Amino acid sequence: MAEPLKVLLIEDHPIVRAGCRRLLQSRAGTEIFEAGSGAEGFALARRERPRVVVLDLNLPDGNGLAILARLRGEIPTAAVLVFSMYEEAAFVARALEGGALGYLTKHDDPEALLEAVEAVARGARYLGHSVAQKLALLSLQPGNDPLRGLTARELGVLDLLGGGAGLAEIAEALALSYRSAANIAAQLRAKLQVRSQAALVKFAVETAPARAARRAAENTCSIGSSSVG
């Protein structure tokens, strides 16, 4: 007999949690665990070792993205499906870059939850219709996007600057000389038309969500609801 598919719901709203439970119970061979907070969810995840964690990003005891990072660090075998009210591309991108295998919004069709759980349980990525469409459209947007003219190396330097790294740390991280790192920073200031290193760092911090969203968009293979094996 096949082992049951263990699914952990981490959701603080009892009504939403009950609705998810009813949907998942319609799938034969599913064992469901529930938690109303991040702390309770961690305790259950460590004890039960679920195959899938359905995670709300808005929990009373912690930032959902931080909880995602901790889940991925402590229980790497668990596939995390974010189930959130947030549809903005930046939230989706950060969740995917943080290790979530799927992202579903509470505006998606209820049956999509079953599809998403099935997909991530077998290791496939799943994006709900609305967020997949937004990410795909984001990758197609023309116009005055200052990031479009940057090379992969320059974007990498921006990511490190946005994360608080100095030029010496960037040089070490990218296996460059300090002079090369400084030259790339100078090229970035010229391309982005910012006058100082401090202004470049500010730009790097402020555009971090946009860069993350664009990377996620470029990795998205379908505009509609999608599961990608």
What confidence tens digit (pLDDT) does each residue in 36-61 have?
Answer: 999 999 999 999 999 999 999 888 88
Confirm or reject CATH 3.30.1560 for domain 152-206, answering yes or no. Answer: no
Question: Residue ranges per domain, the chain?
Answer: 5-139+219-228, 152-206
pLDDT exceeds cutoff 90 at 23: yes
Q: How many CB atoms lie within 10 A of CB 61?
A: 12
Cα radius of gyration rounded to whole Å, the chain: 20
Q: How many CB atoms lie within 10 A of CB 160?
A: 19
Q: What is the pLDDT of residue 63?
A: 78
Instruction: Give the contacts of 157 (CB within 8 A, at least 6 positions apart).
Output: 170, 174, 181, 184, 185, 188
Q: What is the CATH number of domain 5-139+219-228?
A: 3.40.50.2300
Instruction: Give the contacts of 150 (CB within 8 A, at least 6 positions apart).
Output: 158, 188, 191
Q: What is the pLDDT of residue 15?
A: 94
Rounded CA separation 78/66 (Å): 16
pLDDT classification of 224: cutoffs 50, 70, 90: very low
- Whole-model pTM: value is 0.65
pLDDT classification of 100: cutoffs 50, 70, 90: very high
pLDDT classification of 213: cutoffs 50, 70, 90: low
The conformational region for residue 97 under phi > 0 = left, psi -120 to 50 = alpha, else beta, is alpha
Q: What is the mean pLDDT of the chain?
A: 85
Q: What is the pLDDT of residue 107?
A: 87
Report the run of H or E that residue 143 belongs to, with start and end.
none
Return the percentage of the chain with pLDDT > 90, whole number.
50
Q: What is the pLDDT of residue 57?
A: 87
Rounded CA separation 164/108 (Å): 37
Average pLDDT estimate for 211-215: 68
Paired tokens of 158: 């921006």
Instruction: Give the contacts of 167 (CB within 8 A, at least 6 positions apart).
Output: 178, 181, 182, 185
